[in-house]
Chain A
Amino acid sequence: MDLVDFLAAPLRSGIERHALAEVVLLGGVCGALSFWVTSFRLSYASESLAHGLLPGLVLASLAGAPLLLGGVGGVALAAAMVALASRDPRIGADSATAVVVTGMFGLGALLALSPDAPARLEELLFGDPLGVTDADLGAAAALATLGAGALAALHRPLCAVALDPPGAGALGVRPGVVRLALLMLLAAAVAVAVQGLGSLLVLAVLVAPAVAVRRRAVSPVTAMLGGAAVGSGCGVLGLYASHHLGSAAGASVALALCAAAALGGRLPARIRRGAAPASGVHRASA
């Protein structure tokens, strides 16, 4: 097989063209978003949202409703339950989240394994980019457009809060509102991306691209663009691997993302010469 055949083979199938468009769109927007997920230390929250929405996906699947609808409902329910459980100071936010998410995931598995359920648990957990419909592609395109617009509009407040939350408050930026806006964007991304990558693997596209590019990024914009490129590129790489090696498409994409993160994490950090730290302590006078 020559190179042209190698590259063109997946494009001959309409299903695979759909899948490629889906992973490019989702990889782009989620890759850009991943910079903020890691900057605001929301990796655990992303995992919680992705795992907690499983019952919503299963119920949508049982009812024959669009998975996106189930995903949105599942995310909203998981977020509300985490918020409620976290209010008890005796439990603590981390423990409350762990209990709620495990409970939701167990409920989802229980529903999916009931005798009346269609055999789709594997697809819901691990995703199937090759199964995306025109409606899924439309949702991914809408997410990419709205997500890019939201990230552009929120860029300056996000930077101010990520660097110094109390200082941002003094500038008139409300850190809690900015964080909530980011969480809502993250929830929307999880609800859409989970259709292609599944409840277990979606985390890869929300964290790995930022890890891959972070050490070489010189600004938030380059980090987001780099993350988008890694997200989309690994999506394409994973689908080509799936086509030529016969591996599962969703898992191949997730593995490509994790490999990129492992490689990027080993790159030396970009250091600017001439900014060497000074030393010494001085006592105040005004």
Chain B
Amino acid sequence: MATPAPAVAAEGLTLSYGGDPVLENVSFDASAGTALCVLGPNGGGKTTLFRALMGDLHPLAGTVHVDGRAAYLAQTERTRLDFPVTALDVALMGSLSSGRWWLPPRRSERRAAGEALERVGLGGQADAPFGQLSGGQRRRALLARALTQDATVLLLDEPFAGVDPASAERITSVFAELRSEGRTLLVSTHDVESARSFDLVLCLNGRQVAFGDPASSLGREVLEATYGSDIVVLEASGDHEVRAITVQHHEH
């Protein structure tokens, strides 16, 4: 039986912002329904990789492949909190991907946005101003936008950073639903322990350090190459039985 084509893939990918490469020689693939953790320090190339997968940054070398147009969940620190839109307005922005940008949203698109808000637990906050939601609620509103977009591949940039427990629980539950629907999730984080629950892990630090399943990819050598002196090993029994945390601060 033929192997299904990957939903997301990169081969020999090298990226730069016009000067020296900031991410070199990245090769990975993920099939439909896979959750892939992109692990690395701040400035390691996680967001840069996402920009290439969105088509926002052209490769210096190598290729990328994404099934359809990927949805992107930005870090909410990069959104304008004083812009006067409601949670429903944000969810409705997902319908822009249909291409009818010059026309008001259809009734079906409004319904889809309302359902997306219900799904992320913000049905009762549809008319709340985006800037007055908590950090976790804002993250969920942006996730609702990605759901309205109905993309097969979702790129989620630090979706749990600074999120309250209730929001984190709801986001985790939606992620599980999305995977069961056959959607592919790429989740960036610098949290080593959370990476163990993913199907695949891609470790970046200006280059690809490792790619594979967590059991074989999160050894001491790989973590030290990924984080350098920012890694603190809590427990170690053999190279692949490591518990570790990072001591860097989240980038704003």
Contacts and interface: CB of A to CB of B under 8 A. Distances in A.
A8 interface: no
A156 B93 contact: yes
A163 B69 CA distance: 20
A170 B71 contact: yes
Contact of B166 (A156, A160, A163, A278): A278
A282 B160 contact: yes
Given A277-B135, A284-B194, A172 B80 contact: no
Contact of B72 (A169, A271, A281): A169
B128 A164 contact: no
Given A163-B130, A171-B97, A286 B89 contact: no
Nearest to B131: A275
Interface string A143-171: 00000000001101101101110111111
A95 to B, nearest CB: 20
Nearest to A175: B56
Contacts of A86: none
Q: How many interface residues does chain B have, given as a range?
A: 35 or more
B31 to A, nearest CB: 16
B7 interface: no
Contacts of A180: none
Interface stretch (A121-129, A200-208, A216-224): A216-224
Contacts of B125: 275
Given A173-B101, A284-B160, A286-B198, A166 B80 contact: no
Nearest to B138: A277
Contacts of A163: 79-80, 83, 85, 90, 93, 130
Nearest to A152: B102
Contacts of A160: 93, 96
A43 interface: no
A283 B191 contact: yes
A14 interface: no
A166 B105 CA distance: 21
Main secondary structure of the interface of A (DSSP, over half): loop
Contacts of A284: 159-160, 168, 172, 187, 189, 191, 194
B53 to A, nearest CB: 9
A280 B56 contact: no
A283 B193 contact: yes
Interface string B59-102: 00000000001111110001110111110011001101101011
Contacts of A172: 69, 96-97, 99, 101
Interface of B: 35, 37, 51, 54-56, 69-74, 78-80, 82-86, 89-90, 93-94, 96-97, 99, 101-102, 104-105, 125, 127-130, 132-137, 142, 145, 149, 155, 159-160, 162-169, 172, 175-176, 185, 187, 189, 191, 193-194, 197-198
CB-based closest 3 A-B pairs: A282-B168, A170-B72, A284-B194
Given A281-B164, A286-B172, 17 more contacts: A160-B93, A163-B83, A163-B85, A166-B74, A167-B145, A169-B72, A170-B149, A171-B145, A223-B84, A272-B128, A272-B132, A274-B128, A275-B137, A280-B165, A283-B160, A284-B194, A286-B187
21 contacts: A39-B80, A153-B102, A156-B101, A156-B102, A159-B89, A162-B80, A163-B83, A167-B79, A167-B142, A167-B145, A169-B72, A171-B96, A171-B149, A219-B84, A275-B129, A277-B134, A280-B165, A282-B165, A284-B187, A284-B191, A286-B172
